[in-house]
Structure formats: structure tokens, C-alpha cells
């Protein structure tokens, strides 16, 4: 028996952002375990598979992690091809590393398939280049949400000179603002908050560090959303305008 589990990233939502490898894994699946944030449109690639929803959204009733892991193990030990589909990339705030290790310890082969993580997609889809020569030499992906008491080194983040991309931060905008202001980041630092990145109902709220919580409240920003904090967020509208202009003047299929 060749038990195997694929941990597959489905990308941020747009089903066309799936990788070819993800499509192949889905095509081979007997059982698909699918997270809440994954667009159900991708199931067209696995019409024969048994699909089990294992949502784990913060704050909602969710399938316990241990139960999901046992499900994967049970089906894999039955010789089934198991595909666990997660939003974005499995190893960016997706527990992919933990699950792979646990399955490995139980003798199961695991293959991880990268997906496009929401922070990268959200920035690009709203016209932001996360690195930009002369403006940002790097990107830092962080989450404001922790299950333990660990805290981020906000001072190091504020001084890093990299663009910050914050995941799972909608309910923590006030904390994030206070921590970054206290760490010396200027209140006028541009911020873009992108909800439902890459989906037809994507929305973007533009603000700055000191106003981001009140602007998000007025905008009724909802999860899932990512926050892009840094000078690159100022470029957003210009870049979008330039891209649209380029599309108008240089049709790809001319």
C-alpha cells in the first residue's frame, strides 16, 4: 500500500490561480478535505472524489485540528488518495508544516503543493507591488492572531524598512496601529486593506496607519482581508492606472 496525502494550496480565491499541479492532485483524489476559505469552483477538477468540508474559520465552530488529522490518516491508511485543500499556500499560516510532520511521523508520504498566498495576491490585485526599487527592499508576512501568548517584535518590524503584510488582522486593527505607532512608525504610513482578494467581490480600503481602524470600521471591512502597510501602498492607484492603460494600448492578442 502506498499511502499518500497531498497538502494543496488553492490560492486566494480566483480558481484560475490554481497551479497545474494542484489540478493534477485533485484529479487523482479519492477524498478531498476542503477548508472554508477555498472556492468551491475548484471541485470541478475532482468530480469523482468524496468531498468533506473541514472549515476552521477563526471565531466560528470548526472541525478540530486533531480530528482533521485523524481523518487524513484513516483514509490514507485505507489506501485512498487524500487531498487536503487549503486557502492560499499551505505553509503560510496554514498549518501545512505541522500536518506534514504529523503525517510523516505516522508513516504517511506527504506532498505539498504551493498555492499563491493571499497577501501576495491581494497586493497585486489591488495594484501594489510589494517590493519596489528604492522604496521597499523586502516583505514581511505576519499574523496578528496567536493561540499562545507570543507577541511580535513590533519595533523590529517598524524599523525593518520592509513592507508589512498582516494576515488575520481585521479584529486587531486598533492593536496593530497602537503597536506600530509606539514602535515609531509614522502615522501617515500608507495602508491598503484588501478584502476577498482576487474574487469578483474584492474590496479595498485605502488609509494610513493612524486612521486605519476608523476607516476600516466606516468601510465595514470584513474577514478575510489582508493589510499592506508601507510606502508601496501609496503606489497602488498609480500602478493600477498604468496597468489599465497598458492593457488598453497593447492588447495581448493583437
Q: Which three cell numbers stand for residue 79?
A: 489506501
Catalytic residues: 35, 56, 168
Cis peptide before 74 (omega within 30 of 0): no
Indicate whether 223 belongs to the interface with ligand SAH (CB under 6 A): yes
Indicate whether 176 belongs to the interface with ligand SAH (CB under 6 A): no
The alpha carbon of residue 235 and the mean position of all alpha carbons in its chain are separated, in whole angstroms, by 22
Residues of span 3-22 touching ligand SAH by CB under 6 A: 12-13
Q: Which residue has the cell 468540508?
A: 53
Task: Count Cα atoms within 13 angstroms, Cβ side, for 232.
Answer: 27
Which residue number places its CB atom closest to ligand SAH?
88
| 8 Å CB contact between 106 and 1 | no
Region binding ligand SAH by CB under 6 A among candidate stretches 16-24, 82-90, 97-105, 235-243: 82-90
Q: Which residue has the cell 496554514?
A: 94
Q: Which three cell numbers stand for residue 54?
A: 473541514
Region binding ligand SAH by CB under 6 A among candidate stretches 44-52, 84-92, 156-164, 232-240: 84-92
Closer CB to ligand SAH, residue 3 or residue 193?
A: 193
Q: Is 239 exposed, middle or buried (0-12, 13-18, 19+ CB in 10 A)?
A: middle
Binding mask 32-51 for ligand SAH (x = CB under 6 A): -----x--------------
Region binding ligand SAH by CB under 6 A among candidate stretches 98-106, 156-164, 171-179, 217-225: 217-225
Judged by the rule CB under 6 A, the positions of this chain that interact with ligand SAH are 12-13, 37, 86-89, 92-94, 117-118, 122, 167-168, 194, 196-198, 223-226
Amino acid at each position: 500500500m502506498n499511502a499518500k496525502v497531498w497538502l494543496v494550496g488553492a490560492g486566494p480565491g480566483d480558481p484560475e490561480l490554481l497551479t497545474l499541479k494542484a489540478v493534477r492532485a485533485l484529479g487523482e483524489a479519492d477524498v478531498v478535505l476542503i477548508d472554508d476559505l477555498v472556492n468551491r469552483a475548484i471541485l470541478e477538477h475532482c468530480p469523482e472524489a468524496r468531498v468533506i468540508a473541514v472549515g476552521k474559520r477563526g471565531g466560528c465552530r470548526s472541525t478540530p485540528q486533531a480530528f482533521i488529522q485523524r481523518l487524513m490518516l484513516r483514509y490514507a491508511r485505507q489506501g485512498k488518495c487524500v487531498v487536503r485543500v487549503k486557502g492560499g499556500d499551505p505553509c503560510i499560516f496554514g498549518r501545512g508544516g505541522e500536518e506534514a510532520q504529523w503525517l510523516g511521523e505516522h508513516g504517511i508520504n506527504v506532498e505539498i503543493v504551493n498555492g499563491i498566498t493571499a497577501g501576495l495576491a491581494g497586493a497585486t490585485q489591488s495594484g501594489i507591488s510589494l517590493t519596489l526599487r528604492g522604496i521597499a527592499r523586502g516583505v514581511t508576512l505576519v499574523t496578528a492572531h496567536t493561540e499562545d501568548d507570543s507577541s511580535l517584535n513590533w519595533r523590529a518590524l517598524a524599523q525593518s524598512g520592509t513592507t508589512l503584510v498582516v494576515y488575520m488582522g481585521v479584529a486587531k486593527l486598533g492593536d496593530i496601529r497602537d503597536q506600530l505607532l509606539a514602535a515609531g512608525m509614522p502615522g501617515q504610513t500608507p495602508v491598503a486593506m484588501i478584502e476577498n482578494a482576487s474574487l469578483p467581490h474584492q474590496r479595498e480600503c485605502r488609509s494610513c496607519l493612524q486612521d486605519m481602524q476608523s476607516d476600516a470600521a466606516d468601510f465595514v471591512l470584513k474577514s478575510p482581508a489582508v493589510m499592506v502597510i508601507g510606502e508601496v501602498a501609496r503606489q497602488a492607484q498609480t500602478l493600477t492606472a498604468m496597468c489599465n492603460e497598458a492593457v488598453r494600448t497593447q492588447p495581448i492578442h493583437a
